[in-house]
Structure 1
Amino acid sequence: MATRWDETDAPKGDDYDARWARMAAQGKSIHGEADLVESLLAEVDGTRVLDGGCGTGRVAIELARRGFDVAGVDADDSMLATARRNGPDIDWVTADLADLPDTVGTGFDVIVLAGNVMIFVHPGTERRVLDGCTRRLRPGGLLVAGFALRPDRISLEDYDDHAAAAGLESVARWATWGREPYAGGDYAVSVHRRFIG
């Protein structure tokens, strides 16, 4: 199934990855998502992470470098080709998040949907994405998603409704991956927990 990402003219594969490399070379921090995920893993005493919509693997590769057990899934083969080259020891799965195969596994402590994943999935599949992610979390595991808020994309209210229907409860919401308080605005990072029991 095509995603909204497929329809963009955004750089893909190595070209996409090069943008992050340039930012790092300029001294900019490019690992805010990994920093937050690492702190969340400490809070839930976990080590297993699924990077959903992982793209070229920037977040997953950094988490693996920090010693976590990481897998990545993305529907874009050009993005995953770069991820596989840069992180050959990580399990990369080509799949649509709305139709995750069994090969992705289960029992993850944290699933991260960084890089605006939720506004690039195929319209109308947002609930299926959250259902599939929830099934792959261990009870008490966390789903963290950061995405821009646009009038023509999923709203926070709809996201929360889909999350609740999938069996997730809200834990926190921030304006950035650095835990800046959310008080409205055009970007949000939401953390939800899979119900226990």
Structure 2
Amino acid sequence: MKNILLITTLVFFSSCQPIVKTLAGVKNPKLENKERVKDYLVKANLDPQNNFIIKDKSSYQTVLDLFYKSFPEAILFDKDGNELIYKETTTSCNAGLFKVIPELGKNSELKKGTHQLSQVLSDYTKPLDNNQIITDDSDYYLLINWAIFAGSLNKNHVLAWENIAKENKNSKIKVIKLNMDLQESWGLKKEDLK
């Protein structure tokens, strides 16, 4: 309990952000490639299906803005690919997903947003593997962003959300993960990370 109180307190004080990052295992970003991303998925016990990466460096900022400049973060879409708003405000904590995901039913009513899943995926991302199958008979799609450098936040949030979605008996929720690591294929150099 003391650790939870300490971490919660630290989160609210921006001067303590380096401490929080250290406790969560967050590292400085490194250039990654598809193979290292795939290896990490296995190492972190994340589902290797339905994974995407950012298409290019010009798409990165747009995608980061879609996710409220935060990760891990998630965007929920209905069966037709329309964004659904689960937060009260764009700055609300993503912890609300821990409650929203298990309560999603086929007739759940959430406010619609402005984004379309198909547009986000086609305009700004590319599949990690060529055999990605996205659309099916799912009731909802949960697009989760994550990064290797995010450390244990991947386990505490991404893996947890993925498991909660699988356990929902009231509706079928397909999880799609979007890796936010900077990619070697964008032509970046190590000097660009500074």
Please confirm whether the aligned pair reaches a TM-score higher than 0.5, indicating the same fold.
no
Q: Which has the higher contact order (CA 8 A, sep 6+)?
A: 2
TM-score (norm 1): 0.30
Larger-Rg structure? 2
TM-score (norm 2): 0.30
